[in-house]
Amino acid sequence: MAYTDILYEKKNGVAWITINRPEVRNAFRTITVAELTDAFVDARWDPAIGVVVLTGAGDKAFCSGGDQKERGQGGYAPGAASQRPMDLGGEGRSGAEGAGATSRPFNRPMDVEALHSAIRHIPKPVIAMVNGFAVGGGHVLHVLCDLSIASDNAIFGQTGPRVGSVDAGHGTGFLARVVGEKKAREIWYLCRQYSAADALVMGLVNKVVPLKDLRAEVEKWCAELLDKSPTALALAKQSFNIDSEPRAGVAQFAHTALGLYYQTDEAMEGRNAFVEKRPVDFKKFRK
Ligand code: S0N
């Protein structure tokens, strides 16, 4: 399959999915999300694949979240930055199946929810190989992976309230399950950046290694996983998912709400400040 924004390689039972936009710290745009979803669906149904690794190209970033330059007043979609809010239409299809990244024109809004669903519902372990910044929607992606292995230069954090965005679905609720309520609120409200060492202490990652050893370490974990019973792993993953599955309903609601929030001047102030490289000023929006 020909992808433009990701690399997709299958080797020795492992599917390696790499966001390939290092020039923007592997920020995802609409087509990136569609391609990622398509690759996860492919890996799900390929019996030769037992483990999936998600990573970013280069040595600076895993993923920096939504591409702020594609975001318009209404959200992310091809050409959205120059469209009116209502041109972006309503909610798209939900769920991972049939993303059809390479077979359909990209004339619809970004479907992050489908990607989240694809990561959670593939009945195989997904490892986030975090090789630099994992921030904003990129941080949510690693949190949703089953395991996270980070390089010692990795930086973690949410940025939403700083850039006029919030993933109030899995982004908030699932993070709280991982690091606890107090820490999750701190991460979301203050938008600070955390080191790999911090992440290890708070249980946000499973292991930290020097950047030069990252790939080998992940390959080691993959080999261990590939020796295990695939059905037992699938049942364990699905069992772990059950308790947080109601969050998927919240995620639908949260994404609809986010679409409305994106239409406001307040949300655009966050986006514009980032793109214009200036301090953000939300003071006038206080109620
Ligand atoms: C990653 C950061 C911290 C890296 O800083 P550093 O190393 O100083 O590099 P920069 O000079 O800042 O960046 C290098 C070049 O890359 C561009 N760039 C970086 N990140 C992005 C980005 N996210 N979008 C577009 N461009 C990006 C820079 O502009 C720069 O380019 P040049 O050289 O041309 O100036 C730092 O870059 C940073 O803080 N980045 C922004 C992080 C951020 O705020 N991300 C977006 C947060 N929001 C989301 O992710 C939305 C999530 C989302 O889409 C979603 C999630 C769930 C449900 C729904 C949705 C939905 O929106 O639909």
In 3D space, the residue among 222, 221, 199 whose CA is nearest the CA of residue 152 turns out to be: 199
pLDDT tens digits along 121-139: 999 999 999 999 999 999 9
Residues with CB under 6 A from ligand 1: 24-25, 27, 64-69, 75-76, 110, 112, 133, 135-137, 140, 159-160, 163, 165, 167, 171, 255, 258, 274
SS (H, E, C) 65-88: CECCCCEECCEECCCHHHCCHHHH
Determine, yes or no, domain membership for 277: yes
Instruction: Report the 10 Å Cβ neighbour count for 265.
Output: 11
Determine, yes or no, domain membership for 192: yes
Ligand 1 center from residue 21 Cα (angstroms): 11
Determine, yes or no, domain membership for 159: yes
pLDDT tens digits along 231-259: 999 999 999 999 999 999 999 999 999 99
Report the CATH number that the domain containing residue 154 is assigned in CATH.
Answer: 3.90.226.10
d(CA 17, CA 33): 12
Ligand 1 center from residue 102 Cα (angstroms): 25
Query: 19, 20, 24: which to mutate for ligand 1, most atoms within 8 A of CB?
Result: 24
Ligand 1 center from residue 275 Cα (angstroms): 9
Determine, yes or no, domain membership for 224: no
Taken in order 172, 52, 209, 64, the sign of the CA dihedral is negative
Determine, yes or no, domain membership for 220: no
Residues contacting residue 234 through CB under 8 Å, at least 6 positions apart: 123, 124
Ligand 1 center from residue 48 Cα (angstroms): 35
Tell whether the model's pLDDT for residue 100 goes beyond 60.
no
Residue 1's pLDDT is 64
Residue 84's pLDDT is 52
Position 82 confidence tier, pLDDT thresholds 50, 70, 90: low
**What is the number of structural domains in the chain?**
1
pLDDT tens digits along 138-194: 999 999 999 999 999 999 999 999 999 999 999 999 999 999 999 999 999 999 999
Determine, yes or no, domain membership for 16: yes
Position 287 confidence tier, pLDDT thresholds 50, 70, 90: confident
Tell whether the model's pLDDT for residue 91 goes beyond 80.
no
Atom of ligand 1 nearest to the CA of 66: 50
Determine, yes or no, domain membership for 162: yes
Determine, yes or no, domain membership for 86: yes
Position 108 confidence tier, pLDDT thresholds 50, 70, 90: confident
Tell whether the model's pLDDT for residue 98 goes beyond 50.
no
- Structural domain including 143 reads 6-212+229-286
Atom of ligand 1 nearest to the CA of 33: 54
